[in-house]
Structure 1
Amino acid sequence: MKKLIALAILLAAFTSCSDSDTYEDVETPPGTGTPGPDPVATISYAKNVKSIIDGNCIGCHQAGRSASFRPLTTYAEVKAAVENAGLLGRIQLQNGEQGIMPQGGRMSQANIDLIVKWNTDGLKEN
């Protein structure tokens, strides 16, 4: 009986393994050479950043609103805010820290990471 149980366990172990995926295949996206999720090849304002800004910032940062002195409704305005107004630093603050943007609470880390990568990638428009 013990041999039958051992054989069943061994058979289950062999049939549950697949030789088509290695740890490297699972952990490393093709062509990246680094573990983690497959990064977006090129981050651009139009494809990736505009929707984040629209959803989190323009409620205040547009004409007629409380932060109309720093509008964020166009590519040029958002780019200028990154380059000259500390936008990256303010969106990376933690809840409760003075100066955090958006004021209602920190946006998701994934959105912050995309905006930071957009800056690293050269603030491309399209």
Structure 2
Amino acid sequence: MAWNMNNYPESMKNLEGPIKQKAIDVANRLVEEGYEEGRSIAIAITQAQKWVGEQTSQYHLVPHTNGWAIKRANAEKASYVFDTKAKALQKAQSLSSNQETSLVIHKQDGTIERQQNFAH
């Protein structure tokens, strides 16, 4: 029987929404591949927590009052500020590549232009 957001293992009850959904998806996939349920659940929870951590470690290139800023996801303050988007983009790509994470590039109006993934 496949798990879902209404019917999931007891050990997932304290996981928050996106983490729980990811854990359920991974656990279902592992069970389909032949893993034992208990082992699937443990692996799925670990993988889901890792996935959420990766999502929050990504960089964003965003407009700033002084030009363009590089920020971590969910960070209040910019890590770097540049006067041009080109300079900021070069630094953001370098940071993302070195840390093997993704980069979300925004337009001047704040909407997302594109995303680059540097994970190996």
TM over 0.5: no
- Give the TM-score band, short-chain normalised: under 0.3
Based on CA coordinates, which of the two structures has the bigger radius of gyration?
1
RCO comparison, higher one (Cα < 8 Å, 6+): 1
